[in-house]
């Protein structure tokens, strides 16, 4: 049973920005940040093989993309090269499906810290 359809959907929030940790063996120290349409979070979890730790509801795709890009820039600045996780774009030569190249060697807590600094106007 898909429990995601058993509660009322608020159309005011159309997208979600998520922070997740890899569920793949030997990838305990990598984390991701991305966005998706609100109804597609379960698909993102499956595609990226990740467990969301934090989600933020956004009012539009544009708003979600803007937050995601800001977080990605700061993560690139802080942690440098992105992690080449199993099944990522680089390893699959860009073919689909893939887990994206939006992974960093850091904890989900460190990504949450970046997000909170953005919301607080510090970044």
pLDDT at 64: 96
Tracing tokens 């429990």 back to the chain, one arrives at 3
pLDDT band at 44 (very low <50, low <70, confident <90, very high): very high
pLDDT at 71: 94
Task: Write down the domain spans for the chain.
Answer: 3-114
- pLDDT tens digits along 82-123: 887 887 666 667 666 678 888 999 999 999 999 889 888 887
Residue 4 predicted with pLDDT over 70: no
What fold, for 3-114?
A: GIY-YIG endonuclease (3.40.1440)
**Of 54, 48, 82, 79, the residue nearest 67 (C-alpha):** 54
40/4 Cα distance (integer angstroms): 10
62/107 Cα distance (integer angstroms): 26
pLDDT at 35: 96
Number of alpha carbons in the 13 Å side-chain half-sphere of residue 106: 23
pLDDT at 120: 87
Mean pLDDT of the 46-70 span:
94
Residue 70 predicted with pLDDT over 60: yes
């Amino acid at each position: 049973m898909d429990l995601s359809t058993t509660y009322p959907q608020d159309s005011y929030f159309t997208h979600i920005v998520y922070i997740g940790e890899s569920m793949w063996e030997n990838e305990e120290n990598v984390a991701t940040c991305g966005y998706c349409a609100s109804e597609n979070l379960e698909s993102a979890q499956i595609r990226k093989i990740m467990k969301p730790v934090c989600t933020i509801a956004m009012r539009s795709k544009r708003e979600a993309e803007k937050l995601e890009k800001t977080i990605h820039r700061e993560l690139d600045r802080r942690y440098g090269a992105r992690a080449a996780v199993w099944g990522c774009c680089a390893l699959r030569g860009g073919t689909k499906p893939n887990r994206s190249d939006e992974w960093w060697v850091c904890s989900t807590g460190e990504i949450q810290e970046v997000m909170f600094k953005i919301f607080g106007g510090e970044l």
